[in-house]
């Protein structure tokens, strides 16, 4: 009779140890925004633990606390220091293109053919706020001002499983898309 509680205790310890070793599964993406005078920088990283690839990723500035827009042309919607959309990194992700990022627009959609886990993609484009009393002036975006902007990604596996993950930019400038679930 004493064996049953002992066996139950051993199983409980093993299950807790296994749960501690579990990794996040499912589709996961992190999008980072960094304010920079030479062109604001976005980095997209596929952080999935399983073989989920990003096919389409969209960033939507509408809904941000700073009422943000892309500033891609002189004399347009932005404050100053315009910078057009430019890819600056991301070999091996199968970048196919992006929607036109017009001056004053608030969304961009990027498409990929081979954006597997562990890979990242970087681009620059100027982002300005449209607040009468902004934190750093309208040409510079603070974390508080990008908070509330959205990102979403359509993901696929090699065997055809599909998922859409979405997230909201936080005050630290990051948006985490997907919860990843738990692998055991």
Indicate whether 9 pLDDT > 70.
no
| 14 within some domain | no
| 5 within some domain | no
**What values do phi and psi take at 127, rounded to 5?**
-125, 130
- Residue 47 in contact with residue 28, Cβ under 8 Å? yes
| 2 within some domain | no
| 3 within some domain | no
User: With bands split at pLDDT 50, 70 and 90, how would you rate the model's confidence at 47?
Assistant: very high
- What is the rounded CA–CA span in Å between residue 115 and residue 160? 15
End-to-end CA distance of the chain: 31
Query: Which pair of tokens denotes residue 108?
Result: 């961009």
CATH number of the CATH domain containing 123 = 2.60.40
Indicate whether 29 pLDDT > 90.
yes
- What is the rounded CA–CA span in Å between residue 55 and residue 109? 10
pTM: 0.81
DSSP string, the chain: -THHHHHHHHHHHHHHHHHHH-B--S--EEEEEE--TT--EEEEEE--SSS-EEEEEEEE-TT-TT--EE--STTSSSSS-----EEEE-TTS-EEEE----TT--EEEEEEEEE-TT-EEEEE--EE---TT-SS-TTS--HHHHTT-EEEEEEE-TT--EEEEEEE--TTSEEEE-----B-
Count of the separate structural domains present in the chain: 1
Mean pLDDT of 9-17: 47
Indicate whether 1 pLDDT > 80.
no
Residue 144 Cα to chain centre, angstroms:
17
| 19 within some domain | no
- Residue 177 in contact with residue 118, Cβ under 8 Å? no
Indicate whether 170 pLDDT > 60.
yes
Task: Quickly tell me which residue has 């996040």 as its tokens.
Answer: 24
Range of the domain at 154: 24-177
Indicate whether 51 pLDDT > 60.
yes
| 28 within some domain | yes
pLDDT tens digits, one per residue of 107-166: 999 999 999 999 999 999 988 877 667 655 545 566 678 899 999 999 999 899 999 999
Q: What is the reported pLDDT for 16?
A: 45
| 184 within some domain | no
What does the chain come to in residues? 184
pLDDT tens digits, one per residue of 65-123: 888 888 888 776 656 777 889 999 999 999 999 999 999 999 999 999 999 999 999 99
| 51 within some domain | yes
Q: What is the reported pLDDT for 68?
A: 85
Q: What percent of the chain has pLDDT over 90?
A: 52
């Amino acid at each position: 009779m004493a064996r049953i509680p002992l066996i139950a205790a051993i199983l409980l310890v093993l299950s807790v140890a296994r749960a501690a070793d579990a990794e996040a599964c499912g589709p996961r993406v992190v999008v980072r925004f960094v304010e920079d005078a030479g062109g604001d920088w976005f980095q997209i990283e596929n952080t999935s633990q399983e073989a989920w690839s990003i096919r389409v990723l969209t960033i939507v500035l509408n809904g941000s606390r700073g009422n943000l827009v892309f500033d891609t042309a002189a004399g347009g919607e932005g404050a100053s220091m315009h910078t057009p959309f430019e890819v600056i990194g991301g070999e091996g992700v199968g970048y196919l293109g992006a929607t036109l990022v017009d001056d004053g627009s608030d969304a961009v959609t990027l498409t990929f053919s081979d954006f597997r886990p562990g890979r990242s993609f970087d681009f620059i484009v100027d982002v300005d706020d449209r607040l009468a009393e902004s934190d750093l002036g309208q040409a510079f975006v603070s974390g508080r001002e990008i908070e509330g902007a959205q990102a979403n990604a359509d993901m696929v596996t090699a065997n055809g499983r599909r998922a859409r993950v979405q997230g909201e930019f936080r005050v630290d400038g990051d948006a985490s898309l997907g919860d990843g679930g738990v692998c055991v």
